[in-house]
Amino acid sequence: MCSLGLFPPPPPPGDITLYEFNNSLLCGRLHEQLPLAFQSQLADLPVLNLPKDSFKAHGRLEHSARPAFLRHREALWKRCLSAWRDMGLCGVLKELAGAEEEGLRWAKTGASYALAVCRWLSSLHGSLFPHLSLTSEDMIAAFSQAVDWAGCTIRAFAWHPHTNKFAVALLDDSIRVYNSNSATIPSLKHRLQRNVAAMAWKPLCASILAVACQSCVLVWHLDPTSLSTRPSSGCAQVLSYPGHSPVTSLAWAPSGKLLLSASPVNTAMLVWDVSTENCVQLQWFGGGGVTYLAWSPDGSKVLAATPSAVFRVWEAQMWTCERWPTLKGRCQTGCWSPDGSRLLFTVLGESVIYSLSFSEYRGEMQGQVGGSKTASIVADLSETTFETLYGEERIGGEVHSMAWDPTGERLAVIIRGHPDAPGSQTVVAVFRTRNSPVFELLPCGFLRGEPGAQPQLIAFHPCFKQGALLTVCWSTGKVSHIPFFFVSAHGPCASPSPVVAMASASVREQPLFSEL
């Protein structure tokens, strides 16, 4: 089992991580350039600096402007229809109970009693699932893959799967699209684009971007040849479903045919056919909602995390699932190996990385998930103190998010420090990985940004040819790209040291048993 004690010491203060070469992370000063041999590999990638001072959280203008307009009452059936779209059954009952129209005495009385019953059931449900008492913004912040979603400039980041193009969701609810082949930077804005939690580009498509918003899913259809910097809101499809908000996670099928969306308040995962705007609910009672989705690169399985101490893995042919209860808390994040045979995941409240392996079934067994019955701990990220020439540095804690590069040879992990522990810090740890014939996780090193910068989001470039390219969004608003130069193979480039090999072989089992 790999641990932080096997890692090399972090870079010295004042240095930043520049790149990896010969299995070593190399550092330098802030304005230091890459070697000339490597500069051409990153020449076209924009390095952004988006300070928080230049952005402002979107205000609720509709409330402040309402007194300026004359009061107008729509027909009751229109108000009920709008309440159904926004709040579901409770919204309709509330509208009926407060109706001022004459001749509705019995309907108002019945709606009032039914509303009281709904509120009692909701409070009972909220006692079982405390997250339901949170506001929408607090719920998004709690389940976002961004470390500080509420306070950071950059709230979501997404690479295009086939080209040097990425989207950045900002604090002011706008989205900017950067393309290395174009000087035009489209800015996407929509009245429903509030509190963006996640984004995902459609595979096998030039410019279709799905956005998880507070009240719906927006699907932007962008013309890659357009020179417009402000696409019309008519370019966005609105996908909404009663009771399915806020939306905190999205996942496209690798084929691009289906889109999944998840909400912590809805126990159903929605499978959208975007072309027809129709959806199918994948209902599974228990868990209190769905917080995070990850579709395996081979398209065979989907990880669905919940706010409770249980997560599910669905197979994407017959749509059956297996559930795994965890020991302490909910599944915080997860990522798949490139072939979909292994899932790495973490649990809130634990400083370890778990691994689940999956078998491929054919014939009569086809349609089963095929997960192993126990999850193995493959990395221990407990707090470790590093003695350096510049003093002690304490690194370790819970994992907030993970990213596995498309070659399957580098794994990046954001480790959150303990907020109450002095000197504890949030860092990005990078592992070298091997998935076959035996899975191994080997230490590579820690990444450091500018002084005072904390990592917020990480994502690997999906088609970097010279190894792997990790994009890090920092708390200062900077977006940097860190290349890992290596020759892609079935395993890490360097032979592991005997100590590391011995540690990775001694994987201990945890009783996380699957339940069909």
What string of DSSP letters covers 263-307?
Answer: -TT-SEEEEEETTTTEEEEEE--SSSS--EEEE-TTSSEEEEE-S
Burial of 466 (0-12, 13-18, 19+ CB in 10 A): middle
| Distance, CA of 258 to CA of 302 (rounded, Å) | 12
- 474: three-class secondary structure by DSSP: strand
Both structure tokens of 317? 């042919």
Predicted local distance difference test score (pLDDT) of residue 391: 84
How many other C-beta atoms lie within 10 A of the C-beta of residue 136?
A: 18
Q: Which residue do the tokens 């790209």 mark?
A: 481
> How many CB atoms neighbour CB 438 within 10 A?
9
- Measured at the alpha carbon of residue 263, what is the angle toward residues 205 and 134, in degrees to the nearest 5? 140
CA-CA distance, 257 to 239, in Å (whole number)?
15
> What are the C-alpha distances in Å from 332 to residues 48, 121, 147, 350, 483?
28, 28, 12, 10, 26
Quick check: 261 and 244 in contact, CB under 8 A? yes
Residue positions counted in the chain:
516
Q: 3-state SS of 35-65? A: CHHHHCCCCCCCCEECCHHHCCCCCCHHHHH
Contacts of 10 (CB under 8 A, 6+ apart): 386, 388, 393, 395, 427, 445, 446, 448
C-alpha to C-alpha distances, 376 to 141, 308, 336, 345, 396, nearest whole angstrom = 29, 20, 15, 10, 20
The first and second tokens of residue 223, run together, are 């013309």
User: Model pTM?
Assistant: 0.82
The answer to whether the beta carbons of residues 513 and 378 sit under 8 Å apart is no
- Cα separations in angstroms, 201 against 196, 198, 217, 276, 442: 14, 11, 13, 18, 31
Find all residues with CB under 8 Å of 98, minimum gap 6, and list them.
none
SS3 121: helix
- Judge contact between 507 and 379, C-beta under 8 A: no
For residue 125, the model assigns a pLDDT of 53
Long-range contacts of 318-322 (CB under 8 A, 24+ apart): 318/366, 318/367, 319/282, 320/367, 320/368, 320/369, 321/284, 321/369, 322/369, 322/371, 322/514, 322/515, 322/516
> What is the radius of gyration, based on Cα positions, of the chain?
24
Q: Report pLDDT for 515.
A: 38
3-class SS of residue 81 = helix
pLDDT less than 70: residues of the chain: 43, 56-73, 85-88, 120-131, 285-287, 327, 361-371, 419, 422-423, 489-516
C-beta atoms surrounding 30 within 10 Å:
10
- The tokens for 259 are 């889109």
Q: Rounded to 5 degrees, what are φ and ψ at 250?
A: -135, 155
pLDDT at site 81: 80
